[in-house]
Amino acid sequence: MKLYLKCPNCKYENSFKSNASTRVEFVMVKNKKTIEINCVGCNKKISASVNKIYAKESKSAFLIAGIIFMIGSILILIIWSKILSNSKNAMGLYAVALLLLVPVWIYIIIQKQERIRVSTFNHTYVNDYH
């Protein structure tokens, strides 16, 4: 996922990709408790504790959720209008009305998982003193 580290010199928010989903995992992969990167803002090499790294909710996750929500809703409305014009089956109408909840449900799940992912990373700290 995308992780961030603010530069102590110029406060620029540097971002980088990592497979780690917690700071503990990050330390295991890198085999050290510090991170060294070149700051994009001031071009200086910065070194910081992994506890300074943080995750943020990604805009693309919300965008994908939004697209699923929109396409899903449109598809279901098309199906609904066909059922409305073709039949008078009350059960069918009821089923489609329930289907309308599916994109809403997917949208909520994606948002929730994104929040869990970010807070899992941000709430696990690595002990600095070992």
Task: Please state, in angstroms and rounded to a whole number, the distance separating the CA atoms of residues 24 and 21.
Answer: 8
Task: Please state, in angstroms and rounded to a whole number, the distance separating the CA atoms of residues 77 and 82.
Answer: 9
Using CB under 5 A, which of the segments 2-10, 19-27, 48-56, 109-117 binds Zn ion?
2-10
Q: How far is the CB of 8 from Zn ion (least distance, A)?
A: 8
Q: Which is nearer to Zn ion, 12 or 62 (CB)?
A: 12
Total number of residues that touch Zn ion (CB under 5 A): 7
Task: Please state, in angstroms and rounded to a whole number, the distance separating the CA atoms of residues 89 and 116.
Answer: 41
Q: How far is the CB of 30 from Zn ion (least distance, A)?
A: 21
Among 20, 27, 39, 53, binds Zn ion (CB under 5 A): 39
Q: Give every CB contact of residue 57 below 8 A, 6+ residues apart in sequence.
A: 114, 115, 118
Does 41 contact Zn ion by CB under 5 A? yes
Task: Please state, in angstroms and rounded to a whole number, the distance separating the CA atoms of residues 75 and 72.
Answer: 5
Q: Name the site residues for Zn ion (rule: CB under 5 A).
A: 7, 9-10, 12, 39, 41-42
